[in-house]
């Protein structure tokens, strides 16, 4: 599927075939695409939790307003991020760069992030957002549908997946073979209402 076609065709689909499974090759392709997403300082904060255990998915559904796509979709991915990734061997993020680039960027990582908890969290959310969009467009290009989700108890889900204390949850994505089309688009803003030239 052509890129712009995938962008316009992507919708938040709620109804999935519970019998359909994504192959290991398809999952690998999706996540290989996801890790091509950009991150600040190439820190790659994201940690993708692919939930396969049916019992765990049922427990997550119970704290996600009983939304059927949590258990019925072929895959459930919880996008999380390591808020302290910037402090964990930062040189590894630039190991393949020329030395002169490493010498500029690696020493900048710590002072840029240290003591700035809001920034650390914001970077995780930005990274999860970009990776999530990549997953959804890649899935659409592969013939699958997705549903990004924030309608769940994040603290309960964090406990269920044993989320480390220095990580945060961005959102979840259900991925699979739809059995029912998405609702009609509820109405996009006109471009002139959201596109600002130079200044507000």
| Residue range 164-193, pLDDT digits in tens | 999 999 999 999 999 999 888 899 999 999
- pLDDT value for 185: 87
Say what the alpha-carbon torsion angle 165, 88, 126, 171 is, to the nearest 10 degrees. Answer: -30
CB distance 139 to 30 below 8 Å: yes
Task: Name the residue among 140, 129, 130, 128 with its Cα closest to residue 3.
Answer: 140
The pLDDT of residue 126 is: 97
pLDDT at residue number 16: 98
Tens digits of per-residue pLDDT, 12-40? 999 999 999 999 999 999 999 999 999 99
Decide if 17 contacts 186 (C-beta within 8 A): no
Q: What is the mean pLDDT of residues 134-161?
A: 98
Q: What is the pLDDT of residue 183?
A: 87
Q: What ranges make up the beta strands (E) of 20-176?
A: 46-51, 75-82, 145-149, 167-176
**pLDDT level of residue 119 (50, 70, 90 thresholds):** very high
Sign of the dihedral through C-alpha 20, 33, 80, 5: negative
Mean pLDDT taken over the chain: 97
**CATH code reported for the domain at 3-180:** 3.40.109.10
pLDDT (tens digit, 9 = 90+) per residue, 78-87? Answer: 999 999 999 9
Write down the pLDDT at residue 1. Answer: 81
- Looking at residue 13, its pLDDT comes to 96
Share of the chain above pLDDT 70, in %: 100
Give residue limits of the domains in the chain: 3-180
């Amino acid at each position: 599927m052509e890129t712009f076609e995938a962008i316009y065709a992507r919708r938040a689909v709620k109804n999935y075939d519970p019998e359909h499974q994504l192959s290991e090759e398809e999952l690998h392709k999706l996540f290989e695409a996801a890790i091509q997403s950009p991150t600040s300082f190439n820190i790659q904060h994201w940690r993708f939790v692919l939930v396969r255990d049916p019992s765990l998915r049922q427990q997550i559904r119970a704290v996600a307003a009983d939304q059927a796509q949590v258990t019925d979709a072929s895959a459930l991915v919880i996008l999380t991020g390591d808020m302290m990734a910037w402090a964990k061997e930062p040189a590894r993020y630039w190991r393949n760069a020329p030395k002169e680039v490493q010498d500029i960027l690696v020493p900048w990582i710590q002072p840029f992030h240290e003591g700035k908890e809001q920034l650390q969290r914001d970077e995780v959310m930005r990274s999860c957002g970009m990776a999530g969009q990549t997953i959804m467009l890649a899935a659409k290009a592969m013939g699958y549908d997705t549903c990004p989700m924030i309608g769940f108890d994040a603290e309960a889900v964090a406990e269920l997946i044993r989320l480390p204390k220095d990580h945060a949850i961005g959102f979840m994505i259900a991925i699979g073979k739809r059995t029912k089309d998405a609702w009609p688009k509820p109405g996009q803003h006109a471009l002139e209402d959201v596109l600002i030239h130079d200044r507000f």
